[in-house]
Structure 1
């Protein structure tokens, strides 16, 4: 069972040079991703005078997030595993692919990266407001909760299949592309309803900088539940643990 693979690690692991390098990689990658994704939304608002979301705006958001995530995962994959998302880190933890302490370090780095990206956007746009994720008219919090679970399940399942599974072979070459594609596709599917976050860090930075926390819990609970289920399902049914290789930790670096 996957639960047997969970590893807490040890506190000193967070001070290990390799763990700190991995956290820095997560910080930079998340900053780049959020800057591109959130920036595209701010640019759309400026060009349309804060008009309502249009099909072309939704496509632009999907492309910006898909391309941005492709780059963000690519540049950190060989250093930290290219999580760029607390939900991915949580799913990896439940599958025994990262220790608790290293995961917490990743979370801190990801949240800081998102916050710094939004602060830089606010500075660079002469004070424009970063748009916190919100629900569309007629969409309830439980509708959004279900959407975030399903979309994040698809994202983390893709991460497992292309980047974590030790049987993946050479498919990890296209892992960043596949991960970027599933995020772009999910934005096209769910962006008009709740913004399609799938990533608590992506939601946290704009909410903090704009100080808008309305329904913010949905963008944590949904992705963490969906990512956790994906990690457990993939690890339970598809990963053979004989000869299994975990991502490096302070104990085996």
Structure 2
């Protein structure tokens, strides 16, 4: 990828009203997503006694995350681009669609949104712990890393195809639902193995609130590697220098 597509940004960008509004939008979108996603698992456990580990619990988690992400992306799309994921934000940076400083600003807002959602869930449920992501029995760190890389590649590739590509046309209308669908589908695949995070913020919030940090690095390294590969592949093969244009923040 040509170096000129990478932009650091200016110091004043972090305090620009539009950048701050975008960060606030990412905070609330992440709060909505994590509250619904984590909350669905907690609710299922409450009514079925650890039923989240059953096939029906996996399906319920996939549907809850797909629906919640569809909404979270939609409500933030016109303000921040509706990233709702540090890996998506990093992929946008790698493809030259946002500056490093704005990327960091988004990351801070996304992580704080996830933590806030988990704290609110703990408060609302009378002290129940939000479940930290963990590897299932028999699943190695290497297995989980591959799962996270491949699943996040699919997610960020979908983001590029439906939301970033300048040639997307009317396809951009279905971007939020396509993004929600790929996350729900990936949870059905990887949920039984490593929880299917695909999102460092989604795994970070529960880890902070529960104090459980086992294998946390996997849920950062995997998504960031997968996002990088997806951005480089799509940007260089399908967008290219002839069609590349820096997009407004509302379009990632």
What TM bracket, shorter-length normalisation? over 0.9
Q: Any residues of structure 2 matched to 1:233-248 within 5 Å, and which?
A: 233-242=233-242, 244-248=244-248
Q: Which residue of 2 aligns with 1:164?
A: 164
Instruction: Compute the displacement of 1:246 (Å).
Output: 2.2
Matched, 1:45 2:80: no
Query: What is the CA–CA distance in structure 2 between the aligned matches of 1:152 and 1:190, rounded to whole Å?
Result: 11
Instruction: Compute the displacement of 1:49 (Å).
Output: 2.0
Q: Deviations over 1:83-135 (max 9, x none)?
A: 00000011110100010000000000000000000000000000000000001
Query: What is the CA–CA distance in structure 2 between the aligned matches of 1:208 and 1:228, rounded to whole Å?
Result: 26
Instruction: Compute the displacement of 1:3 (Å).
Output: 3.8
For structure 1, list consecutive stretches of 5 or more residues without a partner in the other structure.
none
Count of aligned residue pairs for this structure pair: 249
Q: Which residue of 2 aligns with 1:28?
A: 28
For structure 2, list consecutive stretches of 5 or more residues without a partner in the other structure.
none
Deviates more, 1:62-71 or 1:51-60: 51-60
Query: What is the CA–CA distance in structure 2 between the aligned matches of 1:79 and 1:143, rounded to whole Å?
Result: 37
**In 2 relative to 1, CA 243–237 (structure 1 residues): closer, same or farther, beyond 3 Å?**
closer
Q: Which residue of 1 aligns with 2:71?
A: 71
SS for the counterpart of 1:192 is helix
Query: What is the CA–CA distance in structure 2 between the aligned matches of 1:160 and 1:225, rounded to whole Å?
Result: 16
Which runs of structure 1 show a deviation greater than 3 angstroms over 4 or more consecutive aligned residues?
240-245
Query: What is the CA–CA distance in structure 1 between the aligned matches of 2:214 and 2:64, rounded to whole Å?
Result: 25
**Mapped contact 1:30–1:72 kept (Cα < 8 A):** yes
Q: Which residue of 2 aligns with 1:16?
A: 16
Q: Which residue of 2 aligns with 1:89?
A: 89
**Mapped contact 1:199–1:223 kept (Cα < 8 A):** yes
Q: Which residue of 2 aligns with 1:146?
A: 146
**Mapped contact 1:158–1:178 kept (Cα < 8 A):** yes
Instruction: Compute the displacement of 1:78 (Å).
Output: 1.2
SS for the counterpart of 1:93 is helix
Instruction: Compute the displacement of 1:44 (Å).
Output: 1.3
Deviates more, 1:189-198 or 1:40-49: 40-49
**Mapped contact 2:135–2:195 kept (Cα < 8 A):** yes
Q: TM-score, normalised by structure 1?
A: 0.96
Matched, 1:201 2:197: no
Instruction: Compute the displacement of 1:4 (Å).
Output: 3.1
Let me know the Cα RMSD of the aligned residues: 1.2
Instruction: Compute the displacement of 1:11 (Å).
Output: 1.6
Instruction: Compute the displacement of 1:24 (Å).
Output: 0.6
Q: Deviations over 1:181-204 (max 9, x none)?
A: 000000001000000000000000
Query: What is the CA–CA distance in structure 1 between the aligned matches of 2:243 and 2:50, rounded to whole Å?
Result: 54
